[in-house]
A and B are shown apart, each in its own frame.
Chain A
Amino acid sequence: MTILDKPASDGTAAGDRSAPEVRKLRRETGGANVFSHGFLVFWGALTVLPLLWMFLSSFKSDAEILADPWGLPGALRFENWARAWTEAHIGQYFLNSAIVVAGSLTLTMLLGATAAYVFARYEFPGRQVFYYLFVGGMMFPVFLALVPLFFVVRNAGLFGTWTGLMLVYAAYSLPFTVFFLTAFFRTLPTAVAEAALMDGCGHFRLFFRVMLPMARPGLISIAIFNFLSHWNQFILPQVLMQGDDSKWVLAQGLAALAVSQGYQGDYSGLFAGLTIATLPVLVVYIAFQRQIQTGLTAGQLK
Chain B
Amino acid sequence: MRHGKYPLIVTFLVPPLLLYGIFVISPYLQAFQISTTDWLGYSAEADPVGLANFERLLDDGRVWNALKNNAWLLAVVPVLTIGLGLFFATMLAMGGRKGRAGVTGVRGTSVYRMVYFFPQVLSVVIIALLWREVYHPNSGLLNGALGAVGLPTPTWLGDPRTAFWCVLAVMVWSNVGFYVVLFGAAMSAIPRDIYEAVMLDGASRWTTLRKITIPLLWDTVQVAWIYLAIAALDGFILIQQMTNGGPNFSSDVIGLRMYETAFGSENRFGYASAIGVVLFFLTLSVAVLALRAARRDRIEYS
In the assembled complex, the CB of B103 is this many whole angstroms from the nearest CB of chain A, namely 8
B161 at the interface (CB under 8 A from A): no
Is there contact, CB below 8 Å, between A10 and B99?
A: yes
In the assembled complex, the CB of B16 is this many whole angstroms from the nearest CB of chain A, namely 4
The CA of A98 and the CA of B106, in the complex, are separated in Å by: 39
The CA of A285 and the CA of B15, in the complex, are separated in Å by: 32
Measured between beta carbons, the chain A residues less than 8 angstroms from B121 are: 228, 281-282, 284-285, 292
Is there contact, CB below 8 Å, between A30 and B97?
A: yes
Of A76-84, A132-140, A214-222, which stretch is located at the interface?
Answer: A132-140
Interface of A is mostly: helix
The CA of A265 and the CA of B1, in the complex, are separated in Å by: 70
Is there contact, CB below 8 Å, between B141 and A1?
A: no
Given contacts A39-B87, A115-B12, contact A44 B116 (CB under 8 A): yes
The CA of A202 and the CA of B182, in the complex, are separated in Å by: 40
Is there contact, CB below 8 Å, between B279 and A232?
A: no
The CA of A167 and the CA of B24, in the complex, are separated in Å by: 11
Q: Which of B88, B113, B123, B241 contacts A1 (CB 8 A)?
A: B113
In the assembled complex, the CB of B141 is this many whole angstroms from the nearest CB of chain A, namely 5
B72 at the interface (CB under 8 A from A): no
- Digitize B135-151: 1 where CB-to-A-CB distance is under 8 Å, 0 elsewhere: 01011110111001000
Is there contact, CB below 8 Å, between A9 and B100?
A: yes
Is there contact, CB below 8 Å, between B115 and A144?
A: no
In the assembled complex, the CB of A3 is this many whole angstroms from the nearest CB of chain B, namely 6
Measured between beta carbons, the chain A residues less than 8 angstroms from B220 are: 300-301
Is there contact, CB below 8 Å, between A255 and B129?
A: yes
Measured between beta carbons, the chain B residues less than 8 angstroms from A203 are: 4-5, 7-8
Give B123's nearest chain A residue, CB to CB.
A232
Which residues between 20 and 42 of chain B lie within 8 Å of chain A, taking CB atoms?
Answer: 20, 22-28, 30-31, 34
A145 at the interface (CB under 8 A from B): yes
The CA of A293 and the CA of B110, in the complex, are separated in Å by: 11
Pick the most buried of B11, B141, B205: most chain A CB atoms within 10 A of its CB: B141
Measured between beta carbons, the chain B residues less than 8 angstroms from A139 are: 230, 283-284, 287
- Digitize A192-213: 1 where CB-to-B-CB distance is under 8 Å, 0 elsewhere: 0010011000111001000000
Give A49's nearest chain B residue, CB to CB.
B141
Is there contact, CB below 8 Å, between B102 and A152?
A: no
Is there contact, CB below 8 Å, between B141 and A174?
A: no
The CA of A122 and the CA of B11, in the complex, are separated in Å by: 13
Give B186's nearest chain A residue, CB to CB.
A301
Is there contact, CB below 8 Å, between A147 and B269?
A: yes
Is there contact, CB below 8 Å, between A167 and B115?
A: no
Measured between beta carbons, the chain B residues less than 8 angstroms from A263 are: none
Interface size on A, residues (CB 8 A): 112
Given contacts A70-B145, A301-B186, contact A144 B28 (CB under 8 A): yes
Which residues between 98 and 115 of chain B lie within 8 Å of chain A, taking CB atoms?
Answer: 98-107, 109-110, 112-115
In the assembled complex, the CB of A92 is this many whole angstroms from the nearest CB of chain B, namely 17
Give A126's nearest chain B residue, CB to CB.
B13
In the assembled complex, the CB of A213 is this many whole angstroms from the nearest CB of chain B, namely 17
The CA of A204 and the CA of B7, in the complex, are separated in Å by: 9
Is there contact, CB below 8 Å, between A48 and B115?
A: yes
The CA of A145 and the CA of B143, in the complex, are separated in Å by: 40
Which residues between 176 and 203 of chain A lie within 8 Å of chain B, taking CB atoms?
Answer: 178, 194, 197-198, 202-203
The CA of A289 and the CA of B117, in the complex, are separated in Å by: 9
Pick the most buried of B133, B223, B255: most chain A CB atoms within 10 A of its CB: B133
Is there contact, CB below 8 Å, between B173 and A46?
A: yes
Measured between beta carbons, the chain A residues less than 8 angstroms from B99 are: 7, 9-10, 13
Q: Chain B interface residue count: which class?
A: 35 or more
Is there contact, CB below 8 Å, between B26 and A4?
A: no
The CA of A26 and the CA of B140, in the complex, are separated in Å by: 44
Q: Which of B126, B236, B279 contacts A254 (CB 8 A)?
A: B126
B82 at the interface (CB under 8 A from A): no
Is there contact, CB below 8 Å, between A115 and B13?
A: yes
The CA of A115 and the CA of B220, in the complex, are separated in Å by: 27
The CA of A274 and the CA of B131, in the complex, are separated in Å by: 11
Is there contact, CB below 8 Å, between B12 and A152?
A: no
Given contacts A47-B115, A70-B145, A143-B255, contact A171 B237 (CB under 8 A): no
A157 at the interface (CB under 8 A from B): no
B214 at the interface (CB under 8 A from A): no
Measured between beta carbons, the chain B residues less than 8 angstroms from A293 are: 113, 117, 181, 185
Which residues between 47 and 79 of chain B lie within 8 Å of chain A, taking CB atoms?
Answer: none
Measured between beta carbons, the chain A residues less than 8 angstroms from B24 are: 137, 145, 171-172, 174-175
Is there contact, CB below 8 Å, between A39 and B91?
A: yes
Is there contact, CB below 8 Å, between A2 and B258?
A: no
Given contacts A111-B16, A144-B276, A203-B5, contact A4 B105 (CB under 8 A): yes
Contact sample, A vs B, 21 pairs, CB 8 Å cutoff: A4-B105, A5-B107, A5-B109, A10-B100, A29-B102, A36-B106, A40-B112, A43-B176, A133-B20, A140-B230, A141-B230, A145-B276, A147-B269, A150-B262, A152-B23, A152-B26, A171-B23, A204-B8, A235-B237, A250-B123, A258-B132
Which residue numbers of B lie inside 8 Å of A, CB to CB? 1-2, 4-9, 11-13, 15-17, 19-20, 22-28, 30-31, 34, 84, 87-88, 91-93, 95-107, 109-110, 112-126, 129-134, 136, 138-141, 143-145, 148, 173, 176-178, 181-182, 184-186, 188, 196, 205, 220, 223-224, 227, 230, 233-234, 236-237, 241, 255, 258-259, 262-263, 269, 272-273, 276, 279-280, 283-284, 287
Q: 4 tightest CB-CB pairs across the interface, nearest first?
A: A36-B95, A69-B144, A4-B105, A171-B23
